[in-house]
Amino acid sequence: MVRRVVITGLGVVAPGGVGVKEYWELLTAGRTATRAISFYDASPFRSRVAAECDFDPAAAGLSPQEIRRLDRAAQFAVVSTREALADSGLDVSALDPSRIGTSLGSAVGCTTSLEREYVVVSDGGRKWNVDHEYAVPELYRHFVPSSMAAEVGQEAGAEGPAAVVSTGCTSGLDSLGHAVELIREGTCDVMIAGATEAPISPITSACFDAIHATTPRNDTPESACRPFDRTRSGLVLGEGAAILVLEELESARRRGAHIYAEIAGFAARCNAYHMTGLKPDGREMAEAIDAAMDEARLDPTAIDYINAHGSGTKMNDRHETGAFKRSLGDHAYATPISSIKSMIGHSLGAIGSLEIAACALAMEHGVLPPTANLHEPDPELDLDYIPLTARERKTDTVLSVGSGFGGFQSAMLLARPERSAR
Amino acid sequence: MTASPTAPAVRPAAATAPAVRTTAVVTGLGIAAPNGLGTEDYWKATLAGESGLGRVTRFDPSQYPSTVGGEVPGYVAEEHIPSRLMPQTDHMTRLALTAADWAVADAGIVPGDLPEYGMGVVTAASGGAVEFGQRELQNLWSQGKEYVSAYQSFAWFYAVNTGQISIRHKMRGPSGVLLTEQAGGIDSIGHARRHVRKGVPVVVTGGVDAALCPWGWVPQIASGLMSTESDPSRAYLPFSAEASGYVPGEGGAILIVEDAESARERGAERVYGTVAGYAATLDPAPGSGRPSALRRAAENALADAGLAPSDVDVVFADAAGTPELDRAEAGVLEELFGARGVPVTAPKSMTGRLLAGGAALDAATALLALRDGVIPPTAGVAEADPGHRIDLVTAAREADLRTALVLARGHGGFNAALVLRRAD
């Protein structure tokens, strides 16, 4: 008997608003949350645009102790965990805590806190032998971002396996994939799973500047991220978190849980090609899509929406368009595709979970979020990228993909659990 | 536009899906440790009780309360790493690439002979490539953003070892990176076994870590768990009455975890042992009044292996080195095995705690112990604190070993347990 895994709760902190409701309103309005960086003086940088969260930790319910102890990314994760658990209606106290696990994705961990504390202990970069006397007690928690998974697990009362999954920009899909495996293999019945990232800091700006990955379109920050558009010029950094409550299908049904969707298939591959480069044919991403479809026992023609990686770099958008054609064949031309990064930016390790949350909401509401800022289609990219305006459409099967530094390629399929049994 | 189908086409089950649980075996090891570079040098030193701890030389530690560390001796990166990779790799990643090269060679794997999607890489990480990161932070804050390396975007991050190993050996299968601090080495091996069971013939796994730079040192000081003893022979004495904290080290182990059947088919030269059981747990929130979940991790791993505590011939302990944490672990061992009911050892007393590399090295060490029928010692400790009712192995001890239990704890509440069995 194959154990199947469904999404029964969602919690989100995203640019444009805290909470699932505000998130979905932003996405379906086609509104963008990208803006000029306000967190620090970005004037030295080539790219000075980001999708920042207006996040007040106290207003979001965190205690003064939590605010002091937790990095911004951990704060996002804890707030999202609370929303997801409430949304799921799960009474955790009635469950065996050892059967609840935690899987949290993050690419760069507590980088904002680490950089802030580095500046203090190094006296603004002057000392190689940084000064331990200025180190805050929380510094080790920030140093090892695994602390964030412990924090989320302990918040949820979970005592099963817990880990941070950190595979660069596919972390948010891979952490969910990891959680699905733990339920399927029988180790856990419930997983608190998702991803978080708060990377908007000078060192992140500097390293993306150095490889020209981020857009220099600083004059029009609200339309700076232009996936699939001829004028696209790079990604826009974002931040945020999405936490999902995942449950084994039968026990979710027994308790009468609201089920958003089944996570029907997942696969990850490496391109073993380059730490940051991509081949245009999208071969390894296509292989991941094919493997995820095999696992879900779905044909390409079943897919009726693709949530693209759509980072807005020249290279990525070609790469994944190639992958979609490779895997879906002619059906790629009939499948609506969009990139929500056009609206909420690229929150590195968190974005994969934010995108799966968006896919679950798209299935729930029968609306596909658009690709904002797509005014001038790139003639090389000839698929249907849902320009500018959300589209009403009943959607039963959704593909979401991610691609990351290190060569990671991941694909996940959501479907309705009531489809034909395996 | 195709109409949205309500009952999607269903494909037949993937032909590759394994019908029964496969056995995951370890067929290759690569070790870089403070008391030995390379498997046999390390193993010889470890059996002899030779410690690799000393006053840190990679930076001047004199201003810090803690000055002792475990540095990998005699590693000349240029002898192991292609020159084009030098500017884009930290010391940590170079050690990891080298250990992976050795493990792949030890297993006799020729990557070109295996299906490209049939090989994956799963490594553990803790704080990333810290020295690389410190240098680029310093470049940014002292000189300006033009001085930040173009490689900073990936060279420091937690996924770097997996990414670089997969590229070097053209391994395109399912891969991953797990962070559970010191427990990560076991979690990565457990996850590798998961991939093998799902039909991936070969997974390169384990962990290699290195944070011996000031920006890696100061956070550990802030944790309050590091030893401040300046005598290297007295700084890290787990389970001793004089335990005063831990000493950090660098290095770790890379292991090749493989499907037993495909290892046999390709004529693998040796099988070190079987990954028979694995489990991980998270402690409840501090102050919750609920007990630690370490014992449950050990019990679940044994149950996963289909074994009882009486089947265990040796325990490789987490050995945190602080009185409170040692007491907690010794208590769990007594509950599981009875007072002094099983030999317990902590060879990491000779290497220091290696963050993401530590539990991977313990697993590799346990496999060598199973191979040779000898338990390596807990060096520097004359006897366990009598309050810990454990049979602590303080000199190498010959024994008929079939089953080893490896335990690890990660800062914040992570517990992991691995059961390894000797190859028959």
Q: Model's pTM, two decimal places?
A: 0.97
Whether residues B223 and B303 share a domain: the answer is no
**Which chain B residue is nearest to residue A206, measuring alpha carbons?**
B145
- Assign B111 a pLDDT band (cuts: 50, 70, 90): confident
Domain count, chain B: 2
pLDDT exceeds 50 at position A173: yes
Catalytic residue among A169, A188, A225, A359: A169
pLDDT of residue B20: 56
> Is B1 contained in some domain?
no
Whether residues B221 and B284 share a domain: the answer is no
- The predicted-structure confidence for B226-260, as pLDDT tens digits, reads as follows 999 999 999 999 999 999 999 999 999 999 999 99
pLDDT exceeds 80 at position B56: yes
- Report the largest interatomic distance among the alpha carbons of chain A, rounded to a whole angstrom: 64
Q: Do residues A307 and A398 lie in contact, with contact meaning Cβ atoms separated by under 8 Å?
A: yes
Whether residues B291 and B259 share a domain: the answer is no
> Is B2 contained in some domain?
no
pLDDT of residue A420: 61
**Domain end marker among B265, B290, B310:** B265
Quick one: average pLDDT of A165-189?
Answer: 98
Residue B67 sits in a domain whose CATH number is 3.40.47.10
> Is B272 contained in some domain?
no
> Is A128 contained in some domain?
no
Q: Do residues B411 and B181 lie in contact, with contact meaning Cβ atoms separated by under 8 Å?
A: yes
pLDDT of residue B21: 66
Whether residues B187 and B210 share a domain: the answer is yes
pLDDT of residue A346: 98
Q: Is B125 on the interface with A (CB under 8 A)?
A: yes
Which residues constitute the domain of residue B234? Answer: 24-265
Q: Is A53 a catalytic residue?
A: no
- The predicted-structure confidence for A344-385, as pLDDT tens digits, reads as follows 999 999 999 999 999 999 999 999 999 999 999 999 999 999
Question: Taking all residues of chain A, what is their mean pLDDT, rounded to a whole number?
Answer: 96
Whether residues B64 and B209 share a domain: the answer is yes
**Domain end marker among B265, B286, B320:** B265
Residue A306 sits in a domain whose CATH number is 3.40.47.10
Whether residues B186 and B218 share a domain: the answer is yes
* Yes or no, beta carbons of A395 and B4 under 8 Å apart: yes
The two tokens of residue B194 are 């998961």
Whether residues B235 and B283 share a domain: the answer is no
- The predicted-structure confidence for A332-345, as pLDDT tens digits, reads as follows 999 999 999 999 99
> Is A134 contained in some domain?
no
3-state secondary structure of A244: strand
> Is A73 contained in some domain?
yes
Set of chain A residues whose Cβ sits within 8 Å of the Cβ of B96: none
> Is B5 contained in some domain?
no
Whether residues B186 and B221 share a domain: the answer is yes
pLDDT exceeds 60 at position B8: no
Q: CA A274 to CA A284: how far, in whole Å?
A: 12
Whether residues B225 and B333 share a domain: the answer is no
pLDDT of residue A154: 98
Quick one: average pLDDT of A115-120?
Answer: 98
Q: Is A346 a catalytic residue?
A: yes
- Assign B1 a pLDDT band (cuts: 50, 70, 90): very low
Q: Is A365 a catalytic residue?
A: no
**Domain end marker among B237, B265, B293:** B265
- The predicted-structure confidence for A58-108, as pLDDT tens digits, reads as follows 999 999 999 999 999 999 999 999 999 999 999 999 999 999 999 999 999
3-state secondary structure of B125: coil
The two tokens of residue B330 are 């010794």
> Is A395 contained in some domain?
yes
Measured between CA atoms, how close is A53 to chain B, in angstroms? 22
Which residues constitute the domain of residue A235? Answer: 5-110+145-414
Q: CA B228 to CA B166: how far, in whole Å?
A: 39
Catalytic residue among A142, A178, A319, A346: A346
- The predicted-structure confidence for B367-376, as pLDDT tens digits, reads as follows 999 999 999 9
Domain count, chain A: 1
> Is B328 contained in some domain?
yes
pLDDT of residue B7: 43
* Yes or no, beta carbons of B12 and A408 under 8 Å apart: no
Residue A409 β-bridge partners: A269, A403
Residues 6+ positions from B424 with CB-CB distance below 8 Å: none
**Integer CA distances (angstroms), A351 to A50, A243, A368, B189, in order:** 14, 11, 17, 27
Set of chain A residues whose Cβ sits within 8 Å of the Cβ of B178: 163-166
pLDDT exceeds 90 at position A421: no
> Is A130 contained in some domain?
no
- Assign B13 a pLDDT band (cuts: 50, 70, 90): very low
